[in-house]
């Protein structure tokens, strides 16, 4: 499901958390990225400043 007006999607799952990751997907990218939980805030801040 694509959300209208939402440019960033972060998926928190049990499996991802067990691996220490969250899943990030931009509306402009076709593939999601695994982002370390510890790095997610700085990663999103960098994306928003673009």
- Coil/strand/helix, residue 49: coil
What are the Cα distances from residue 46, in Å, to 2, 15, 19, 41? Answer: 22, 25, 23, 9
pLDDT the model gives residue 36: 98
pLDDT the model gives residue 19: 96
Tell me the pLDDT tens digit for each residue of 2-47: 667 788 899 999 999 999 999 999 988 889 999 999 999 999 999 8
pLDDT the model gives residue 3: 61
């Amino acid at each position: 499901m694509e959300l209208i007006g939402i440019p960033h999607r972060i998926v928190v799952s049990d499996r991802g958390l067990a691996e220490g990751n969250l899943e990030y997907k931009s509306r402009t990218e076709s593939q999601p990225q695994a982002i370390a939980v510890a790095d997610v805030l700085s990663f999103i801040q960098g994306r928003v400043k673009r």
